[in-house]
């Protein structure tokens, strides 16, 4: 398994809007790809902004190629998402999962979505 990491920065209000976008627009599209396993979003306050870290899990690099195209390290960021961010990574990083102690389960949002 491979974990694909991408990060972005924004303010608190736009962070909530981005997380809502990720939940409602990005996740449904990712789930359409064979080889997509799941995703996690993390946030932290940093230098007066909120940093967002997105980790998506894939069965293989080939599965990521089906999603990202031949340049698998290129970040895929929709215009509507980019508009919510003050800065974001243009390149992603991939790590092979060597071991994990995380049980499988359903996606559970841990944030308060903006209505």
Q: Residue 80 is encoded by which pair of tokens?
A: 């509507």
Write the pLDDT tens digit of every residue in 14-26. Answer: 999 999 999 999 9
SS3 8: strand
Cβ-proximal residues to 45 (8 Å cutoff; 6+ apart), any chain: 51
Cβ-proximal residues to 39 (8 Å cutoff; 6+ apart), any chain: 26, 27, 30, 54, 55, 56, 57, 107
pLDDT of residue 23: 94
Q: Domain ranges in the chain?
A: 2-96
pLDDT of residue 100: 77
Percent of the chain exceeding pLDDT 70 equals 88
CATH topology of domain 2-96: Alpha-Beta Plaits (3.30.70)
Extract the residue ranges of the chain whose pLDDT is less than 50: 111-115
Query: What is the rounded CA–CA span in Å between residue 30 and residue 32?
Result: 5
58 contacts 38 by C-beta, under 8 angstroms: no
Entry pTM: 0.84
pLDDT of residue 84: 97
Query: What is the rounded CA–CA span in Å between residue 95 and residue 106?
Result: 22
pLDDT of residue 107: 52
Write the pLDDT tens digit of every residue in 42-59. Answer: 999 988 999 999 999 999
Cβ-proximal residues to 3 (8 Å cutoff; 6+ apart), any chain: 55, 56, 57, 58, 94, 95, 97
């Amino acid at each position: 398994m491979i974990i694909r990491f991408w990060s972005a920065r924004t303010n608190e209000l736009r962070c909530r809007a981005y997380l809502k976008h990720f939940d409602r627009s990005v996740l449904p599209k990712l789930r359409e790809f064979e080889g997509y396993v799941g995703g996690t979003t993390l946030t932290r306050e940093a230098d007066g902004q909120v940093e967002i870290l997105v980790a998506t899990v894939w069965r293989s690099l080939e599965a990521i190629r089906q999603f990202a195209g031949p340049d698998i390290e290129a970040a895929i960021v929709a215009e509507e998402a980019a508009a919510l961010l003050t800065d974001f990574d243009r390149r992603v990083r991939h790590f092979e999962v060597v071991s994990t102690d995380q049980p499988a389960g359903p996606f559970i949002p841990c944030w308060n979505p903006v209505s």
